[in-house]
Chains A and B, each alone.
Chain A
Amino acid sequence: MSSTDARLVFATPDGTGIEVFLPDDARAVIETTLRRERTRTHERLVVRSRDLLLPSGRRTRRTDELIGEICDEVEAVVASTPTTIDPTTADRLAAALEGLATVRAAYQEPDADLLRSFAAQVELATHGLFRPTRTTTWLLCWPAELVEVLDTELARLTRAMESDDATVARLFPAPHLDPELAEGWDALMRRSLVERRLEAIVEVRAAVEDGHTDEDGVAALLRTVNDLRLMIGTELGISEDDDTARRRGGADRERVDIYEVFGFVLSRLLDALDIG
């Protein structure tokens, strides 16, 4: 495989497992990697990865055995693709791929990035907040606490937009630095933006309730979570990069926590969209 951003792993439509699809070129790269590491004596290898701690020049036989076990885990799935596997097997595969990637990176082999991307995709499809399926549908697997926080903040965002509250000023910046150039266009634009945002909120609520959405729903989710960060960040008075850390520990701590949770959610969604 020449690219590390091809999507190889998907959640099953019911979210109970993952599907692994490897194109022929990707399978060939991984099979070559497995052959190489099974036959190599890892005398000088020094890597640290989860359960893989391999001091240089010592316990060489054990090192080779460990890497052999890792290769077995990967081969069991690769040899049977396309295949569907359960979450426990997926976790073992992700750990094995990560370990193999660490070994390959130690030898400065170019396939390390591919193996890491493969491992990340297995993790995403198994445990991610947003899990891609083979269709255009995305599964939303959110803990109840997160859904509750989202629901509360969406209600606040709706009220703030409808009452033209100052906390949503960042959602409606002036389109011109010179107000004379706006010629009323800014007011028209604001009304349209409010409508679009209210529509997006409806779409987000439906997606979270249904546990799945399509690509338009993902875009609505992305924009809305970002809107929530803009609203809460304005409430917190964030005006400089990295202002959040300075405010932590003050009276706004709970709001800072929510702000950071939405930052995490947004980041995970962007990570998921970046692949494929």
Chain B
Amino acid sequence: MSGPGEVSGPIAVLDPETTVSADRPWNVVVWNDPINLMQYVTFVFKKLFGYSESKAHALMMDVHLKGRAIVSSGTRTEAERDVFRLHEYGLWATLEHDE
């Protein structure tokens, strides 16, 4: 058993790739679909994320024109929670690990 301040073995060398990977956030992506109303999508972004009208509208337009938009980022747990809430509102959302 090692006490405080003692080093009982070789100091672990962190793999830089592993360290970077752990810090990479998970993104929540919303995809365009032909059924959800633009007004509805904007409303959902405002309600779920507390975004302003202008930010929610800009994200909605990104979804509509570019096909997708990242609407939130965070830990995997946070991102999964956001995806669940978006699915509850009928939006097509997926998780992706930040590149």
Contact = CB atoms under 8 A, between A and B. Distances in A.
A51 interface: no
B39 A270 contact: yes
B35 A238 contact: yes
A185 B46 CA distance: 26
A176 B90 contact: no
Interface string A171-197: 111111100010001000100110011
Nearest to A227: B90
Nearest to B28: A175
A170 B91 CA distance: 8
A162 interface: no
A237 B57 CA distance: 27
Interface string B57-99: 0000000000000000000000010011001111011111000
Contacts of A185: 80
Given A173-B87, A175-B83, A270-B40, A233 B92 contact: no
B37 interface: yes
Contacts of B43: 222, 270, 273-274
A66 interface: no
Interface in B1-46: 33-37, 39-40, 43
8 contacts: A170-B33, A174-B94, A175-B80, A175-B87, A192-B84, A226-B89, A233-B34, A233-B35
A189 B90 contact: no
B94 to A, nearest CB: 5
Interface residues of B, number: 21
A196 B88 contact: yes
Interface in A222-252: 222-223, 226-227, 229-230, 233-234, 238-243
A185 B40 CA distance: 27
A174 B89 CA distance: 14
A172 B34 CA distance: 16
* Secondary structure type dominating chain A contacts: helix
Contact of B37 (A175, A193, A223, A266): A266
B33 A226 contact: no
Contact of B36 (A197, A226, A240, A243): A226
Contacts of A192: 84
B51 to A, nearest CB: 14
Contact of A175 (B34, B88, B93): B93
A267 B34 contact: no
Given A193-B84, A273-B43, A243 B34 contact: yes
Contacts of B39: 267, 270
Contacts of A227: 90
A144 to B, nearest CB: 25
A193 B40 CA distance: 19
A40 B84 CA distance: 58
Contacts of A239: 34
A229 B94 contact: no
B35 A230 contact: yes
Contact of A223 (B33, B35, B89, B95): B89
A87 B92 CA distance: 42
Contact of A171 (B90, B95, B96): B90
Contacts of B84: 175, 189, 192-193
